[in-house]
Structure 1
Amino acid sequence: MNNQLYTDVLVEVPGLQTDRTYQYQVPPRLAGILQFGHRVKVPFGKQKITGFVVGFNEQKAVPGVKEIIGLVDENPLFRAEQLTLARWLADYYFCSTVKALQSVIGPALKKTAARSVARLYSAVGPEQLPLLQEQLARSPKKLAVLETALQHPGLDKRALAAVSGASLPVINQLCAGGQLRVETELLARDPYPQYEAVRQAPVTLTTEQGRSVQAITAALQQGEHRVFMLHGVTGSGKTEVYLRCIEQVLSTGRQAITLVPEIALTPQMVRLYKARFGRAVAVLHSRMSDGERYDEWMRIDSGSAPVVLGVRSAILAPVPDPGLIIIDEEHEPSYKQEEAPRYHARAVALYRAQKNRGVLVLGSATPSLESYCRTLSGGEYTLLNMPCRVKGKNMPDVQLVDMRREVQSGNSGIFSLLLLQKLRSRLHNKEQAIIFLNRRGFKTLVVCRECGLVLKCPRCEISLTYHTDGRLRCHYCNYQVQALQRCPDCGSSQVGYFGTGTQRVEMELTAHLPGARILRMDADTTTRKGSHEQILAAFASGEADILVGTQMVAKGLDLPGVTLVGVINADSTLHMPDFRAGERTFQLLAQVAGRTGRGDEPGEVLIQTFTPEHYAVQAAARHNYQAFFYKELGLRKEMGYPPFAKMVRILVYGRDEAAVQQAAEKIRAQLDRFAEGLSGGRIMIIGPAPAPLARLKEDYRWHIILWSADYRQLRLVMQQFAQASHGTLPGKALKMSIDVDPMYTM
């Protein structure tokens, strides 16, 4: 009788299409030990590689099946539902299953030795103490140690020595003689030990908060899958709604996941969540050490931390039964992963909520067009509106500063005269200000500083980008025109680029306001662990007057002392070569405006812009999401862009520019053939063209963009392409990425 067992292993081989599994024989020494989810070492050709056990069977599939070499980890790393999630990621985002699985179980792959402490206990009971006192009359130090161990059980060696007054050698002698018992305790690494549960006075909900909580908790109690769009202005109390709903889902025995878009927001949310739920909260983000992430991951996996809080990757946490998933600031592009698997946390959250009959809450003051469209009549999402701030606070007054007039009056500096005047007033009144620099714009944007004209592609309505060869180029369709020396509208020679950094802003502020205390918060000042928290804590405690920052200061932060926000270069995202440029500009301006007026004093916002008449800028200044939404929606519909279509971007890159271009052209020809073979459905394919970041890390980059209102047809073309290419390119030393639902086309 053959009792031989075989296992299916998903192998990890760089450059190999690893969606298929390979069969291996289970050696007798691992029979009864090897389980689904184990990581193993296996022979593969002449190599020894790592693989993951994803199935068992008793029949040999092919002759010559090799034997597993051994286990890599003592315990399995994943369950069946995590493999199912990885397979869905791989299928939807066109990446290998093993790559998706590695993302799903990322912290488990980086296990580090847990910190342990040896705790000491007396091996003799208190009833034996009189006898010991006689026996150790000539060893008072030993007696003192044993008496201390009885009075204070569980001290470590150093603490026991300090309390008893004895030396470590004395304690070691007692351990060796058996009078002291040593017990080793593993210590979980807590990334936020300073925050614990505290008693709080009950918060009285506003009418709008109460309605939102009632609608969401009703769905939680019924155990049905629902999606809610919580559209609340900045300061309307969305976080309290989240906390109340989490309390409800925990009462049903299920778990909750909350995502925030920025690591900078994590300390603030950790404080609020731990104050309410204490050790039930597990935190996950990339600034934690591998050990901290692993320990938090294991607390989630074991069920001891039913409340998960983190950034994008926390959506993959091993929560067995997620009854509630919350995505705060759901519009943020940081929820999109820019490396394979290129998932969007919102899409993964929707998948997990559907699969587990859970509730998904999308919260934002400035919802994405894709999400808000789904709340319209007959849509899939239920809209919950919170249009007022808590405690009756007013939205801040917003004033637009036309920088064209500043230039015409002779002021060519970074700051308008009005902004400097307002800053001096805040310093005099001992109030705080935030200076926000919209730095994410592409630096070779060409704009007329006299009239504000930005040249756009006549085919795509996307701004043209200046190249070092002296030409303006569209990075969607490759339309080109010679760069102009004078503005075609007003004839001015004031034609140039944007490109101002936070460091320069800080230096010029110091020059204009020599007495001001200034903190800067950007990618350069937040490299160290805990730096976000330190900067924000210093600012919140009044150690600085002005906080200069990029996107990380624009959203979610609650700083009651701030009464003024100044926006520099509001136009730099407005004219990026991207169809979402208007949406991103509106969202950023509306979000950063929400950082002021949250305390007792009213808030004020100054937005410096060369195009104050633009609908996105005007809508942000009026806090009018509806006006922006319907204007932008009309433009998207006219051009056939999302949300009226699904989009895929294929990027080819490598060191040889000619080879990259040639490969991109061959891919385009393949795509054209597959698209022509469809029975119906129109697919737009543009490119190949150089990517806006045409060269990055010495690689030349060309891309092709596909979109269609019929996603089934678009997906069919991409599936045929993926099968035909098998992850390889027509050229050596070239690489390719496929990005489904791209947030950036840079």
Structure 2
Amino acid sequence: MYIVKVLVEHPVHALDTTFDYLSEKSLLVGVRVWIRFGYQKIIGYVENVEETHFSKSELEQRAGFRYQYILDVIDEEPLLNEELQTLANQLSRMTLSPRISCLQAMLPTQLKPSTHQTVGIKTQQVVHLVEGTYAKTIKQQECMAFLQEHPDIPVKDIPYSRALLDNLKKQGCIEIVEKEVYRQPFSIEHQSKHIQLTTQQQKVVDGILAHQGRVALLHGVTGSGKTEVYLALAAHYIQQNKSVMMLVPEISLTPMMVEVFRQRFGNQVAILHSRLSQGEKYDEYRRIKRQEVKIVVGARSAVFAPLENIGIIILDEEHDASYKQEAKPRYLTSQIAKMRAKTHHASVVLGSATPSLESYARALKGVYDLYELPERINQKPLPQVEIVDMIQETRQRNYSLFSRKMKQSIQQTIDKGEQVILLLNKRGYASYVQCQDCGEVLKCPHCDVTLTDHRSEHKLKCHYCEYMIDYPHVCPHCGSTHLKSVGYGTQKIEEEIEKIFCGAKVIRYDVDTTRQKNGHLKLLERFRNKEANILLGTQMIAKGLDFEDVTFVGVLNADLSLNIPDFRASERTFQLLCQVSGRSGRGQKQGHVIIQTYNPEHYAITCAAKHDYIAFFHQEMQYRRKAKYPPYCHMVSILIQSPHEELIHSVAIDVKNYLLAHSQQTVILGPARSAIYKMQDIYRERILVKFLHSQDIYEALCVMNDYYNKQQKGKVRIVCDFNPYSQI
């Protein structure tokens, strides 16, 4: 008899403990099992197994409760290796998250400890020849000869009729069996080509290889050939029979990085990101677990890929906020990468044209090794950047969304047969809809935000809870028909472009147009094939895109990201402007960029226009030092949430008082209402805690987290977010 300690599938703090079940046979730690939990039949995850010599009735008498038996075992072997099981426990402690949520974050949908499973193993019928048999007719003999040359060929690919195959089967000449096959997310031809690295690139590669097990920051301007450095490093570690993890921030960048790696390394590459079908994800995960691949390319969650013997982990665009997981467990990808690298004695490479201030500061202190690629490949010049003051445009009675210089540059680029990229970091048609008679603004009933006009669908949408209504004909407050859309988003700009510019063909690239499977890839392929000459999009277009004929980039409102109430607003604006500027002039022709802004003197904008990261770094670090923000401290954001508005502020005050009494060397800001006070019918207040050492605050946070999330069920929920990237 065995006592099996099981985590249940529900990722809530109140159930973040193991429950004891019985089994007649020993089970492996890390497999999934079917269990009876209350009145439900659910899936559990085996955490521990202990042999016992007591009977069921003796155990029940000693424990004071009734034991149940495991209903069934789902897996033959553990889902996660020992390294990842240990990492899940560390992640749970580090982020104050339920252990089961950490396990679920590591696995594809079909393997999560969860009863929601939809896809299984894909099979196809193949034909096996039976040795020592002979066909009767000439046609059957021809078919047998064909099958001899093509072993294990799928039935659907055999150029003979099904009736002929059935006859051969009856005669005992062949067997038709089901064979497991993998779903293929991408089919890219393997082109094993050798690229000669520049002297500077080779110096970087040699330096990283000479310091195995270190963290390296690769600061290279846009177009400096960072990808070739990644490929050279990957090739080295594959030759050493080690595996490689290549991470990118955006799903839209993953297919392009996969294409580059697949062309160089063929079927040794697997891909993991959330836009794959469930079946593709399942198959790619199993290929990795079976060690059939050496390289994993993917977005944030690919950092948990079950690779063995990792040689190097690379994070491209390491500064990007997409590397922060905003749902539990709230982890930072670079932190997980460093933890895995330590286990495998692997190197970590953080690459970016605009590194995060924290990373660059660590590199200057010698915590990371710093490598620079200060010039584009073949000394191609960086694009010329102009700043246009939109206040001056308004004074000269130009109320258009486009400055006169922007209009002129776009038209000239189109006329020359070249391509344009336009950035507006706001999707939808307009920011909000307002009644012109009573001034009412249409808001989401569940969130403290306005509804965004999506004109092409005739809908108003909330971008936080997906609430949606048809575009109204009358004001719900006063009944007036005088409703007006105020502000603008990518949909409205798309309309304006087609009206203003001669010969303009636009592709809009945002969350709304890329929802479908491989939507990113299809739109970018159309742009590459010159089916359009303007690519209009949100921040998704700012990174990683490489089109030779793009010679002009326009930023329509550089202030959108500057006006967010967040200490990283200037840094994000600078990074976004530098990244999108880098899309211009990557071919043989000189690039040109125009940035439209109402803050032309702001250092984030002026430094971006000069491509001067160092000047921006020193200016921003001065402000961070004065205000004691990262990298001069660590931070944890405490979000207090409740459906009961009358509770929220008093609990927030109690939390602050508790932290003041039980933590040392900390600075506590707040509580204050979150930028969005109500979201999905939940009221929200926030406290920010600055600290130098985690031991000063960690114990107090653990006690507080347990009290509100385990004991005060349903009334108030506390979310602790270490290294927060969002203050919304």
What TM-score do you get using the length of structure 2 for normalisation?
A: 0.87
Q: Which residue of 2 aligns with 1:41?
A: 34
Residue type at the aligned position of 1:185: K
Residue type at the aligned position of 1:428: D
**Which of 523, 536, 542 is the equivalent residue of 1:535?**
523
Q: Residues 41, 115 of structure 1: CA spacing in aligned structure 2 closer, same or farther, 3 A cutoff?
A: closer
**Which of 175, 182, 197 is the equivalent residue of 1:181?**
175
Deviation at 1:47, TM superposition (A): 4.0
Are the counterparts in 2 of residues 440 and 573 from structure 1 also a CA contact under 8 Å? no
Q: Residues 78, 14 of structure 1: CA spacing in aligned structure 2 closer, same or farther, 3 A cutoff?
A: closer
Deviation at 1:410, TM superposition (A): 0.3
Residue type at the aligned position of 2:384: D
**Which of 388, 393, 402 is the equivalent residue of 1:401?**
388
Structure 1 window deviating more from structure 2 (16-25 vs 348-357): it is: 16-25
Q: Which residue of 2 aligns with 1:482?
A: none
Deviation at 1:414, TM superposition (A): 0.6
**Which of 191, 195, 206 is the equivalent residue of 1:203?**
195
Q: Which residue of 1 aligns with 2:697?
A: 714
**Which of 3, 14, 21 is the equivalent residue of 1:6?**
3
Tell me whether 1:663 sits opposite 2:630 in the alignment.
no
Deviation at 1:338, TM superposition (A): 1.2
Write the distance in 2 (CA, Å) between the matches of 1:217 and 1:361: 11
Are the counterparts in 2 of residues 119 and 184 from structure 1 also a CA contact under 8 Å? yes
Are the counterparts in 2 of residues 562 and 597 from structure 1 also a CA contact under 8 Å? yes
**Which of 708, 718, 722 is the equivalent residue of 1:725?**
708
Write the distance in 2 (CA, Å) between the matches of 1:702 and 1:147: 75
Are the counterparts in 2 of residues 36 and 79 from structure 1 also a CA contact under 8 Å? no
Tell me whether 1:693 sits opposite 2:676 in the alignment.
yes
Q: Which residue of 1 aligns with 2:436?
A: none
1:643-669 per-residue CA deviation (whole Å, 9 max, x = no partner) reads 11221222233444x24xx23431431
Tell me whether 1:411 sits opposite 2:392 in the alignment.
no
Write the distance in 2 (CA, Å) between the matches of 1:521 and 1:725: 42
Write the distance in 2 (CA, Å) between the matches of 1:730 and 1:14: 14
What does residue range 548-559 of structure 1 map to in structure 2 within 5 Å?
A: 548-559=536-547
Deviation at 1:43, TM superposition (A): 3.2
1:134-178 per-residue CA deviation (whole Å, 9 max, x = no partner) reads xx4xxx655554454445444433433xx23xx423422331331
Q: Which residue of 2 aligns with 1:93?
A: 95
Report SS of the residue matched to 1:375: helix
- Aligned residue pair count: 665
Q: Which residue of 1 aligns with 2:592?
A: 604
Q: Which residue of 1 aligns with 2:85?
A: 83
Q: Residues 727, 593 of structure 1: CA spacing in aligned structure 2 closer, same or farther, 3 A cutoff?
A: farther
Residue type at the aligned position of 2:50: N
**Which of 184, 191, 214 is the equivalent residue of 1:226?**
214
Deviation at 1:114, TM superposition (A): 2.2
Write the distance in 2 (CA, Å) between the matches of 1:498 and 1:386: 44
1:707-746 per-residue CA deviation (whole Å, 9 max, x = no partner) reads 22343212232122123334454763x5442221110101
What does residue range 42-61 of structure 1 map to in structure 2 within 5 Å?
A: 42-59=35-52
Residue type at the aligned position of 1:539: F
Q: Which residue of 2 aligns with 1:457?
A: none
Tell me whether 1:391 sits opposite 2:378 in the alignment.
yes
Deviation at 1:527, TM superposition (A): 0.5
Structure 1 window deviating more from structure 2 (719-728 vs 82-91): it is: 719-728
Q: Which residue of 2 aligns with 1:439?
A: 426
Tell me whether 1:683 sits opposite 2:685 in the alignment.
no
Deviation at 1:514, TM superposition (A): 3.6
Deviation at 1:215, TM superposition (A): 0.9
Are the counterparts in 1 of residues 16 and 98 from structure 2 also a CA contact under 8 Å? yes
Residue type at the aligned position of 1:362: L
Q: Which residue of 2 aligns with 1:462?
A: none
What TM-score do you get using the length of structure 1 for normalisation?
A: 0.85
1:328-365 per-residue CA deviation (whole Å, 9 max, x = no partner) reads 00000011111111111111111111222211100000
Write the distance in 1 (CA, Å) between the matches of 2:587 and 2:39: 67
Deviation at 1:467, TM superposition (A): 8.9
Write the distance in 2 (CA, Å) between the matches of 1:622 and 1:147: 69
Are the counterparts in 1 of residues 248 and 299 from structure 2 also a CA contact under 8 Å? yes
Residue type at the aligned position of 2:36: P
Q: Residues 124, 431 of structure 1: CA spacing in aligned structure 2 closer, same or farther, 3 A cutoff?
A: same
Are the counterparts in 1 of residues 388 and 597 from structure 2 also a CA contact under 8 Å? yes
Are the counterparts in 2 of residues 671 and 721 from structure 1 also a CA contact under 8 Å? no
Report SS of the residue matched to 1:374: helix
**Which of 688, 696, 706 is the equivalent residue of 1:705?**
688
1:108-146 per-residue CA deviation (whole Å, 9 max, x = no partner) reads 335722222222244365xx75xx55xx4xxx6555544
Deviation at 1:8, TM superposition (A): 2.2
Residue type at the aligned position of 2:127: L
Q: Which residue of 1 aligns with 2:444?
A: none
Write the distance in 2 (CA, Å) between the matches of 1:444 and 1:536: 26
Residue type at the aligned position of 2:185: P
**Sequence identity percentage:** 37
Are the counterparts in 2 of residues 664 and 703 from structure 1 also a CA contact under 8 Å? no
Q: Which residue of 2 aligns with 1:674?
A: 659
Are the counterparts in 1 of residues 126 and 152 from structure 2 also a CA contact under 8 Å? yes
Q: Residues 506, 78 of structure 1: CA spacing in aligned structure 2 closer, same or farther, 3 A cutoff?
A: same
Report SS of the residue matched to 1:114: coil
Q: Residues 198, 730 of structure 1: CA spacing in aligned structure 2 closer, same or farther, 3 A cutoff?
A: closer
What does residue range 103-142 of structure 1 map to in structure 2 within 5 Å?
A: 103-107=105-109, 108-109=111-112, 112-123=119-130, 125=132, 132-133=135-136, 136=137, 142=140
Write the distance in 2 (CA, Å) between the matches of 1:439 and 1:197: 38
What does residue range 332-731 of structure 1 map to in structure 2 within 5 Å?
A: 332-377=320-365, 379-439=366-426, 499-656=487-644, 658-659=645-646, 662-678=647-663, 680-687=664-671, 689-727=672-710, 729=712
Q: Residues 169, 743 of structure 1: CA spacing in aligned structure 2 closer, same or farther, 3 A cutoff?
A: same
Residue type at the aligned position of 1:20: T
CA RMSD of aligned residues (A): 2.5
Tell me whether 1:24 sits opposite 2:17 in the alignment.
no
Deviation at 1:295, TM superposition (A): 0.9
Residue type at the aligned position of 1:66: Q
Are the counterparts in 2 of residues 158 and 168 from structure 1 also a CA contact under 8 Å? no
Q: Which residue of 2 aligns with 1:485?
A: none
Residue type at the aligned position of 1:171: L
Residue type at the aligned position of 1:11: V
Write the distance in 2 (CA, Å) between the matches of 1:548 and 1:334: 21
1:639-696 per-residue CA deviation (whole Å, 9 max, x = no partner) reads 111111221222233444x24xx23431431332233234x41332311x22112233
Are the counterparts in 1 of residues 708 and 717 from structure 2 also a CA contact under 8 Å? no
Write the distance in 1 (CA, Å) between the matches of 2:649 and 2:310: 42
Are the counterparts in 2 of residues 259 and 328 from structure 1 also a CA contact under 8 Å? yes
Q: Which residue of 1 aligns with 2:470?
A: none
Tell me whether 1:260 sits opposite 2:248 in the alignment.
yes
1:262-293 per-residue CA deviation (whole Å, 9 max, x = no partner) reads 11111211111011111111100011011111
Deviation at 1:604, TM superposition (A): 0.6
Write the distance in 2 (CA, Å) between the matches of 1:159 and 1:717: 65
Report SS of the residue matched to 1:520: strand
Are the counterparts in 2 of residues 707 and 714 from structure 1 also a CA contact under 8 Å? no
Deviation at 1:234, TM superposition (A): 0.3
Structure 1 window deviating more from structure 2 (646-655 vs 516-525): it is: 646-655
Write the distance in 2 (CA, Å) between the matches of 1:621 and 1:151: 63
Write the distance in 2 (CA, Å) between the matches of 1:23 and 1:151: 56
Q: Which residue of 2 aligns with 1:745?
A: 727
Write the distance in 1 (CA, Å) between the matches of 2:563 and 2:348: 33
Are the counterparts in 1 of residues 108 and 281 from structure 2 also a CA contact under 8 Å? no
Report SS of the residue matched to 1:556: coil
Deviation at 1:260, TM superposition (A): 0.4
Residue type at the aligned position of 2:667: I
Q: Which residue of 2 aligns with 1:452?
A: none
Write the distance in 1 (CA, Å) between the matches of 2:358 and 2:147: 64
